[in-house]
Amino acid sequence: MMNSSVVITSEICFHCGEDCTEETVHFDDKAFCCLGCKSAYQILEESDLCGYYDLDANPGINLKNTKHRARFDYLEDEEVITRISDFHDTTRISLTLNIPNIHCTSCVWLLENLQKLDSGVLQSGVNFLKKELSLLIDTDKTSLRDVVEQLVTIGYEPEIRLEKLDSKTEKSHQNRSLWLKMGVAGFAFGNIMLFSFPDYLDTTGSGLGGNFHIFFGALNIILALPVLLYSSSDYLKSAFAALSQRGVNLDVPISIGIVALFSRSVYEIVTMTGTGYMDSFTGLIFFLLIGKLVQQKTFNRLSFDRDYRSYLPIAVNVLNENGEEYSVSLDKLQPDQQMQLRNHELVPCDSTLLSDEAFLDYSFITGESEPVTVRNGERVFAGGRLIGSTALMRTEEKVANSYLTKLWNHEAFQNNDKELKLTTFADKISPYFTVAVLGIAFFSGLYWLQTAGMEPALSVFTAVLIIACPCALALSTPFTLGSALNVLSLNGLFVKNHLLIENLSKATSIVFDKTGTLTESEAAEVGFFGDDLSSNEQIWVKSACKNSIHPLSRKVATYLQSSYLHQPKTYKEVPGKGILADVDGAIICLGSETFLSDQSGIKPEFIPESHFSGSTVHLSVNGVYKGFFGIKAGVRNGISDLLQSIKEKFSLYLLSGDNEAQRSEFSNYFGENGSLLFNQKPEEKLDFITQLQESGEQVIMVGDGLNDAGALKKSDFGIALADDVSSFAPACDAILEGSSLQKLHAFIDFSKASMKIIIASFVLSLLYNTIGLGFAITGNLSPLVAAILMPLSSISVMVFTFATTRFFARKGGLAIWK
């Protein structure tokens, strides 16, 4: 935008909206950045689906990087179809696919018009937030495989993971009953209020005349009955369950209030001594259910309890006896099969490498930042990600017996009691609260019994129970934390359960993982140390590097900015050592120190010692030593500021599965109090957390990989860092967007403020209770007072918590609106 005159020609791909830098394909007077985008456009154009381009500008998904397409042979297997579909008979398949690429209105439109592309699709519906596509397919006209392949060509590749095999997509209906209960309560609340209104206006007590009194009373009871039996059933059941286990939760005083309200009202109406409190009763339930709805807010897209089955793909390509490739689902993968993996694919089970050499990125499993070189005949472990060219492997174990699966099912990692221990502040005080309320009710009843007799005593007794019903109290926690949860998610921290915010607020020490958490593998820092390279030399080195698939040479190649490439005349690569190439007559030698002295004849003493915390690649041109490339995993943005600001308040630890290469660099950040531990196995990480907890610390663990899974589960608040929150993350309490890690300090401060807000709203609601008790004890609790006081207290608590959480979030520098 700033210097638009400089940009002369940069055509934008009509399909995906990216600049057409490498090649431009023209078709139909439109520019496309690659053939994939063009063919996607062609398909849509033929089916008259160009409305896709009207809703959003250039909505397509870039297809440049999908040179290899996953194979879907396994989707023809009847058993697989039955297991992944929701419903399946001879002619119909109904299933739900997860499509991560859904990102805009156009996507929804196109996917819901899928029947125009494939007439066998009978129904298609998108759930945007869940990024799901539900399909109903007529198998007489098309096959599931065809539909999925069609989706892939237009850029919407479904993500089908192993877990899909065993679990039918659970349609979440649990919220529906809550909506219904709320509807009933709201309906009764509104109507009863209408019927009670004449009574409130009738201040003289002359009565309404006729039999209206009986009529309205009867209607009120009829309307309130379903509220008691249906809408409030959760509270009554929960209170009953708590009492039968000799415990008291907040639902006990609430249920006492509910029962007292209802029976007192029925009594008054039947004996015609009053109008009852049916409006307060139904209103109370209505507000309580709103609180429950807020509490149940969940993050549709995210899943916090994942296991290895959602990490692995559903199928892998294997070769049959004739060397032909076909795909099988992982549960049918047997030992001693040959499988072919491509760049960035995961190894599903422990195998032996059949190709000469392969690079495997184990950072997710072990925390090592550099890919490991594996040679022919060596073992490859499940969970590694292949980097570089295609590799052939022979499977050794079944998926269920592999290292990854065993690690995942490790006993120590199954720590599920954390959530069961969570209690709200409200639950903690509710025994005292219940006793206090019953005591006040009993003594004031006793007082009235002695002074005025049975009738008023009973009425005061029930009035106290009614007005002390901790409705506002019950709302303060879900509303405060629900609001806090919203604020946190707006800022990139998605917490699994609102009660976990309390754990976050109590933290005393923070443990970080290194690889992928503090560092970012994509943002590798490359630098050249030595003589400046001329532009020709840069071209030569880059040309040589381009021929190698070694991760380090790839990083060097991206670091060097030259647009021309020359094909080397001769090229020799010693795997894991270095490259020797002849480019335009210049002999480029690139690699380790020993490789350089062997190949280019430079004596080892001429190669200066490199003091560099990271990997080094030495370079000589025409036998002259030039210097070395230093490559290290880049530290995430804002990390040093974050660590600076929190190292005073918390004890900081670094737990890394990687080697000590970056120790000195990180000890600067962590200060004197922090301790840095390297070469930690997953079990050791877990033990370390346990030790901290035993010494009385409340631990936050921030990690990203499977090697942190045990520690994440054990810690009081386990945060899994993910650059794409909907992608895979190990089981944890919260998922944090990688770019938001720098806000961690603000998050902790905000959670502390939220805890204070809960206390403050408790005080506020107790204030209402005290005022109400004043009316009740003196025997002046008229239905009108109750009908005003009870909703007022609930609403003011809602407003108070909403406003104060937003205020503190803003004060702490967090975003409060989208």
Partner 1 sequence: MEVIYMLIGFSLLVALIFLGLFFWAVRSGQFDDQHTPSMRVLFDSKKTSSKKESTNNQKHRDE
Q: Which residues bind partner 1 (CB under 8 A)?
A: 12, 14, 17, 29-30, 48, 50-51, 53-55, 57-58, 105, 108-109, 112, 126-130, 171-173, 175-176, 179-180, 183-184, 187, 190-191, 195, 209-210, 212, 215, 219
**Is the CB of 183 or the CB of 774 nearer to partner 1?**
183
**Is the CB of 82 or the CB of 175 nearer to partner 1?**
175
**Is the CB of 190 or the CB of 575 nearer to partner 1?**
190
**Is the CB of 113 or the CB of 610 nearer to partner 1?**
113
- Rounded CA-CA distance 797/792 in Å is 8
Q: Output the smallest distance, CB 113 to partner 1, in A.
A: 9
> Helix axis angle, 783-811 relative to 454-467, nearest 10°?
20
Q: Output the smallest distance, CB 685 to partner 1, in A.
A: 38
Q: Output the smallest distance, CB 64 to partner 1, in A.
A: 19
Cα–Cα separations (whole angstroms), residue 213 to 205, 209, 708:
12, 8, 68
**Is the CB of 301 or the CB of 332 nearer to partner 1?**
301
- Rounded CA-CA distance 297/291 in Å is 10
**Is the CB of 123 or the CB of 376 nearer to partner 1?**
123
Would you give the DSSP letter of residue 299?
A: -
**Is the CB of 295 or the CB of 769 nearer to partner 1?**
295
Cα–Cα separations (whole angstroms), residue 300 to 105, 475, 519:
18, 24, 29
Q: Output the smallest distance, CB 127 to partner 1, in A.
A: 5
Q: Output the smallest distance, CB 444 to partner 1, in A.
A: 38
**Is the CB of 79 or the CB of 112 nearer to partner 1?**
112
Distance from the first to the final alpha carbon of the chain: 25
Cα–Cα separations (whole angstroms), residue 474 to 429, 540, 758, 765, 766:
11, 71, 11, 9, 11
Q: Of all helices (H) and strands (E), which one includes residue 776?
A: helix 744-777
Would you give the DSSP letter of residue 564?
A: -
The amino acid at residue 460 is V
- Rounded CA-CA distance 642/745 in Å is 7
**Is the CB of 156 or the CB of 195 nearer to partner 1?**
195
Q: What's phi and psi for 635, nearest 5 deg?
A: -85, 140
Chain-centre distance for alpha carbon 432:
38
Chain-centre distance for alpha carbon 163:
17
Cα–Cα separations (whole angstroms), residue 112 to 48, 115, 141:
14, 8, 18
Q: Are 352 and 377 spatial neighbours (Cβ–Cβ below 8 Å)? A: yes
Q: Output the smallest distance, CB 31 to partner 1, in A.
A: 9
Q: Output the smallest distance, CB 137 to partner 1, in A.
A: 20
Q: Which of 389, 345, 388, 384 is nearest to 361 (CA)?
A: 384
**Is the CB of 109 or the CB of 728 nearer to partner 1?**
109
Q: Which of 187, 267, 271, 190 is nearest to 230 (CA)?
A: 187
For residue 275, count other CB atoms closer than 10 A to its CB. 23
Cβ-count burial 374-390 (b if 16+ within 10 Å, e if not): beeeeebbbbbbbbbee
**Is the CB of 199 or the CB of 658 nearer to partner 1?**
199
Q: Output the smallest distance, CB 84 to partner 1, in A.
A: 21
Q: Output the smallest distance, CB 44 to partner 1, in A.
A: 10
DSSP string, 544-562: HHHT---HHHHHHHHHS--
- Rounded CA-CA distance 178/184 in Å is 10
**Is the CB of 210 or the CB of 323 nearer to partner 1?**
210
**Is the CB of 225 or the CB of 452 nearer to partner 1?**
225
**Is the CB of 24 or the CB of 127 nearer to partner 1?**
127
> Helix axis angle, 174-201 relative to 212-226, nearest 10°?
160
Three-class SS of 377-437: CCEECCCCEEECCCEEEEECCCHHHCHHHHHHCCHHHCCCCCCCCCCCHHHHHHHHHHHHH
CA angle, corner 674, sides to 672 and 676, nearest 5? Answer: 115
Q: Output the smallest distance, CB 12 to partner 1, in A.
A: 6
Chain-centre distance for alpha carbon 517:
16
Q: Output the smallest distance, CB 214 to partner 1, in A.
A: 11
Q: Output the smallest distance, CB 50 to partner 1, in A.
A: 5
CA-based torsion, 495, 498, 499, 505: positive or negative: positive
Q: Output the smallest distance, CB 223 to partner 1, in A.
A: 9
Three-class SS of 34-94: CHHHHHHHHHHHHCCCCCHHHHCCCCCCCCCCCCCCCCCHHHHCHHHHHHHCCEECCCEEE
Q: Output the smallest distance, CB 397 to partner 1, in A.
A: 41
**Is the CB of 173 or the CB of 246 nearer to partner 1?**
173
Q: Half-sphere exposure of residue 138, counting CA atoms within 13 Å on the CB side?
A: 10
Q: Output the smallest distance, CB 501 to partner 1, in A.
A: 24
Sheet holding 357-361, edge to edge: 372-375, 357-361, 385-387
